[in-house]
């Protein structure tokens, strides 16, 4: 394992540390070499943090020198998360006190593109660190501030709409580029909240995913004129029957053309309206569809078979069913059930059982959106479909 020495100025002292580092399959490990003149235990917390961050910088520099000779991209390695995420974030955060020192050299210690990847990754993995990271340097603030607004939640007494409405109009281009995911979950929409939603949807036209909750007291039909203008919208979580309720009935199926880029659709209602069924067939890129599945509902099986037949691009049809499940420690919330099968030759339908109201967990939706993950039931259904396809292929090969 290679050993390197690196000097860094921090808190008025020169830190020189010998570093032994090793990059294995899953983690970056490092440690000062025995015999180094500076030992972590000899330093105070601030200087010790600086020492460890110097180790990290030296390791990155070593990556750059070593992998560039062999045609590897350090930026690509970081993007693929070939390291221990927790260690990386702790080391990045350790730099913050030294950046705040007036005597510290503010010049970047790494290539700017590599430094940007590191800080953007930290912001995307740990949302709570973004306000702190923004205080590191002006360039870092420019990089990570969009992640602070990447996901927006509109709800009663929530500060996001207030902050947005009162923001200077000169920042409209910033919000347009930054906001990607929106969740609307108010029990009752006040006039101010409606004005906030109007301001948000008028400005943020590059939304990729939207979750909108409707109740018996509050319709979301007023959102359709906005949603129909979002060309980048690929994931929608809403009650489509309510969303289209203010349109004439003979126009509702053609209104699905506004959702032509959808790939993932989670319907919050039991699908039964004929215009909704016809509209689903007009979505050319729809690969994942989830609907509320009641095995005792009249006509549910023929309806699902029709959806599988008409939606040619569909890869997964998840039937979400609330059931009281005895969950063990660490057990997943979503469990795929192999029966019933809608059609013996079609592996795409998966019955996914879950505890009551787990799909309405706003906190989980926000966490998934910030980290770039899909809701858990998609992964559960995809794994079940994958197992069926593999079993079907194995059976076919055994018969040859």
Each as own residue / partner, the long-range contacts of residues 32-38 (CB below 8 Å, 24 or more positions apart, any chain) are 33/3
Q: How confident is the model at residue 187 (pLDDT cuts 50, 70, 90)?
A: low
> Quick one: 117 and 216 in the same domain?
no
What global pTM score does this model have? 0.69
Give the model's confidence band at 371: pLDDT under 50 very low, under 70 low, under 90 confident, else very high: confident
Domain end among 145, 166, 188 = 145
Same domain, 35 and 119: yes
Domain-embedded: residue 180? no
| Mean pLDDT (the chain, rounded) | 71
Residue where one domain finishes, among candidates 145, 168, 189: 145
Q: Is the domain of 98 the same as that of 7?
A: yes
pLDDT value of residue 373: 78
Q: Tens digit of pLDDT for each residue in 99-147?
A: 444 444 455 556 777 778 878 888 887 788 888 888 888 888 999 999 9
Choice among 13-22, 216-225, 343-352 with the minimum mean pLDDT: 13-22
pLDDT at 208: 92
| Averaged pLDDT for residues 144-168 | 70
Among 125, 145, 165, the domain-final residue is 145
- Structural domain including 221 reads 208-399
Residue 81 has pLDDT above 80, yes or no: no
Residue 176 lies in a domain: no
Least Cα distance to 54 among 93, 17, 23, 103 occurs for 17
Read off the pLDDT band of 95 (50, 70, 90): very low
* Residues 119, 19 within the same domain: yes
Mean pLDDT over 189-207 rounds to 79
The percentage of residues in the chain with a pLDDT greater than 90, rounded to a whole number, is 8
The answer to whether residue 167 is domain-embedded is no
Q: Is residue 173 in some structural domain?
A: no
Backbone angles phi, psi at 258, to 5 degrees: -70, -15
Same domain for 226 and 139?
no
CA–CA dist 73, 60 (Å, integer): 12
- Judge whether 194 lies within some domain: no
pLDDT of residue 236: 93
**pLDDT at 215 (0 to 100):** 72
118-132, 190-204, 299-313, 376-390: segment of lowest average pLDDT: 190-204
Is 102 within the bounds of a domain? yes
Pair 226, 347 in one domain = yes
359 phi and psi angles, rounded to 5 deg: -75, -10
Computed from CA positions of residues 49, 83, 377, 338, in that sequence, does the dihedral angle turn out positive or negative?
negative
Total number of domains constituting the chain: 2
Residues 8 and 101 in one domain: yes
Residue at 171 is within a domain: no
- Same domain, yes or no: 285 and 137: no
Does the residue 156 lie in any domain? no
């Amino acid at each position: 394992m290679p050993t390197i020495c690196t000097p860094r100025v921090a808190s008025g002292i020169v830190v020189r540390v010998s570093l032994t580092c090793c990059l294995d399959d899953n983690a970056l490990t490092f440690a000062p070499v025995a015999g180094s003149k500076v030992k972590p235990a000899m330093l105070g917390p601030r200087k010790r943090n600086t020492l460890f961050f110097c180790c990290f910088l030296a390791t990155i520099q070593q990556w750059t020198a070593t992998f560039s000779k062999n045609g590897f991209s350090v930026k690509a390695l970081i993007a693929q998360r070939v390291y221990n995420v927790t260690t990386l974030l702790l080391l990045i955060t350790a730099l913050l006190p030294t950046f705040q020192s007036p005597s510290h050299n503010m010049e970047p210690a790494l290539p700017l593109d590599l430094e940007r990847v590191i800080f953007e990754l930290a912001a995307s993995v740990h949302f709570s660190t973004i306000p702190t990271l923004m205080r590191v340097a002006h360039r870092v603030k420019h990089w990570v501030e969009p992640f602070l607004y990447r996901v927006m939640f509109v709800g009663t007494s929530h500060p996001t709409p207030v902050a947005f409405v009162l923001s200077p109009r000169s920042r409209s281009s910033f919000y347009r580029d930054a906001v990607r995911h929106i969740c609307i979950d108010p029990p009752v929409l006040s006039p101010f909240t409606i004005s906030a939603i109007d301001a948000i949807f008028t400005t943020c036209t590059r939304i990729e995913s939207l979750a909108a909750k409707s109740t018996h007291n509050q319709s979301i039909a007023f959102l359709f004129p906005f949603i129909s203008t979002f060309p980048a919208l690929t994931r929608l979580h809403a009650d489509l029957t309510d969303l289209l309720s203010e349109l004439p009935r003979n126009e509702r199926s053609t209104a699905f053309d506004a959702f032509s880029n959808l790939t993932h659709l989670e319907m919050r209602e039991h699908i039964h309206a004929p215009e909704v069924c016809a509209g689903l067939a007009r979505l050319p890129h729809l690969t994942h569809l989830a609907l509320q599945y009641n095995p005792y509902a009249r006509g549910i099986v023929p309806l699902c078979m029709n959806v599988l037949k008409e939606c040619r691009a569909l890869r997964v049809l998840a039937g979400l069913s609330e059931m009281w499940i005895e969950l063990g420690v660490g057990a997943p919330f979503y469990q795929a059930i192999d029966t019933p099968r809608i059609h013996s030759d079609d592996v795409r339908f998966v019955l996914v059982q879950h505890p009551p109201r787990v799909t309405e967990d706003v906190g989980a939706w926000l966490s998934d959106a910030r980290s770039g993950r899909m809701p858990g039931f998609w992964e559960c259904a995809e794994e079940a479909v994958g197992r069926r396809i593999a079993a079907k292929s194995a059976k076919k090969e055994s018969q040859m």
